[in-house]
Amino acid sequence: MLTGAQYLESLADGRAVFFRGERIADITAVGEFDTTLKRFADVYDRFHDAGGDAVNPLFASPRSPEELRERLDQLHGADMLVHLTYQSFMALLTAADRLDEVFPEGSGRIRKYVEDCRRRDVRMVQCITDAKGDRSLSPGAQPDPDQYLRVVERRPDGVVIRGAKLHITGAAMAHEMMVMPTKRMKPGEEAYAIACGVPVNAPGVKIVAVSPVAETEPDPRDYPLSWNRAIPEGFVIFDDVFVPNERIFLEGQINEAAVFAHSLGLWERMGATAGQVNRAEQAAGLAQLIAEANGTHKISHINDKINELVLNATLLRAALDAAMVHASVSKEGVYSPNELYINAAKVFAATGWSTAVRNLQDVAGGSIVTSPSLRDLDNDELNGLLDKYMAGAGESGEYRMRLFHLIRNLTADGFGGWTNVTTIHAGGGIYAQRYVMRSRFDMEAAKRKALQMLPQPAQPIGVG
């Protein structure tokens, strides 16, 4: 296993990372990445085991519903890159199970690859969303065939791929990329049915890093959520990248191209929903805290809004719990969340967050965007005055200011905007989640229950 220092050293591997127009020679020297990288390194140290055969326990496959639930809590206590790595490993292993019958060579490669990545203690991100070009056209009908990642050359020892993948959270800070098709392909689109593992520093890989945080030097007091958690997004370009055979998991099997997207969607939506459940509960708690600090917690319309936040959080928690209780188990004894309940929960989370934000902001008031900085309290001339005039119902001015900045950071600044967008799109858009939810719902059983309510036809009265 790697230490935190070894993780940071491992990033100096010749990777091509660009940030704000410049190629970055050393990403550990970029000020905006510093606190995030330090957090990642600290998590490496927290789980480090010097034993020669040791592997990170967070990446072990869950063997019971209870372990599945425990793993979620452990991952959310670690960092985003650990979470992405776990999702990647589990998605690959789920895909391997589904490919056993149709492409056993690919499923065998997947299992060896995941085991190797666990042993090397690397971090992995998921590359699924293509550039797409004209979204009304399929991959094979695009004027520019590179708008979806594809194989451009087949060699005896591997393939050469070309294309781009968007929205790749943490790409600049990881070691491996799980590359997969975005959907099932049609006859004639075999070149697009490619899934593989690619090192971040592979020749031809170019990562354009995009920071979600506007502040260059965030103060933890003003940015309590994002100051050390904001992870750059990545626009990843595959400019004729060679992939050896042992890293190819799917090549040309158009009917199985969607297996990887569906497998990833399952684990991505579980992780995203768990985070959104916590966020919904935090939003309810913040609304109550700021209402008490403002002295408005006994006003009926304020309580109505807090009640809506409580209902949203409670139903989300119930759906997540149902996905754990009704977990599926593979032939190898690995448990995964129930697809119906986890997709229903994700849809509910994605569609309900904007209302939760509106209610929280309405309860809190305009000071969430106009409150002075906590750094202003460091000024001796302002300190006493700010504490006096920002004071609330039995609470100090500093306390209310901290609450306002926390609510702003969660809902109303650059990080809050990033949170709003990712709440909808993490794990695929709402349509994709509704589609999977509908496909897993037992409609035949529902139809039978509906028919049971129909009055029975009247029996004809006998004659004679």
pLDDT digits (tens, 9 = 90+) for 140-187: 999 999 999 999 999 999 999 999 999 999 999 999 999 999 888 999
The predicted model gives 57-80 an average pLDDT of 89
Residue 131 burial class via C-beta count within 10 angstroms: exposed 0-12, middle 13-18, buried 19 and up: middle
Classify the C-alpha dihedral 8-13-14-18 as positive or negative.
negative
pLDDT in tens, 298-321: 999 999 999 999 999 999 999 999
Go through the domains of the chain in sequence order and give each one's CATH number.
Answer: 4-252 (2.40.110.10), 259-441 (1.20.140.10)
Which whole number is the average pLDDT over 183-194?
94
The predicted-structure confidence for 370-429, as pLDDT tens digits, reads as follows 999 999 999 999 999 999 999 999 999 999 999 999 999 999 988 888 888 888 887 777
Non-local CB neighbours of 172 within 8 Å, separated by 6+ positions: 15, 17, 19, 27, 33, 200, 207, 209, 232, 234
Q: Convert the pLDDT of each residue in 25-45 to its tens digit.
A: 999 999 888 888 999 999 999
Task: Assess contact for 319 and 274: CB atoms under 8 A.
Answer: no
Q: Please list the residues that pair with 459 across neighbouring strands.
A: none
Instruction: Give the tens place of pLDDT for each residue, 196-227.
Output: 999 999 999 999 998 766 555 678 888 888 87
Tokens of 392: 């609330």
pLDDT band per the 50, 70, 90 thresholds, residue 292: very high
Residue 24 to residue 10: CA distance in whole angstroms: 15
Contacts 24+ apart (CB under 8 A), 428-431: 428/261, 428/265, 428/268, 428/269, 430/347, 430/350, 430/351
Q: Is the pLDDT of residue 455 over 90?
A: no
- Given a cut of 70, whether residue 464 has pLDDT beyond it is no
- Cα angle at 61 between 75 and 425, to 5 degrees? 50
Please tell me what DSSP assigns to residue 31.
Answer: G
Predicted confidence at residue 84, as pLDDT, reads 94
User: Strand 335-336 relative to strand 124-127: parallel, antiparallel, unpaired?
Assistant: unpaired
Higher pLDDT, 461 or 365: 365
What global pTM score does this model have? 0.86
State how far the alpha carbon of 50 is from the alpha carbons of 53, 156, 375, 385, 446, in Å.
9, 39, 42, 53, 55
- DSSP letter at 396? -
Please give the average per-residue pLDDT across 109-132, as a whole number: 96
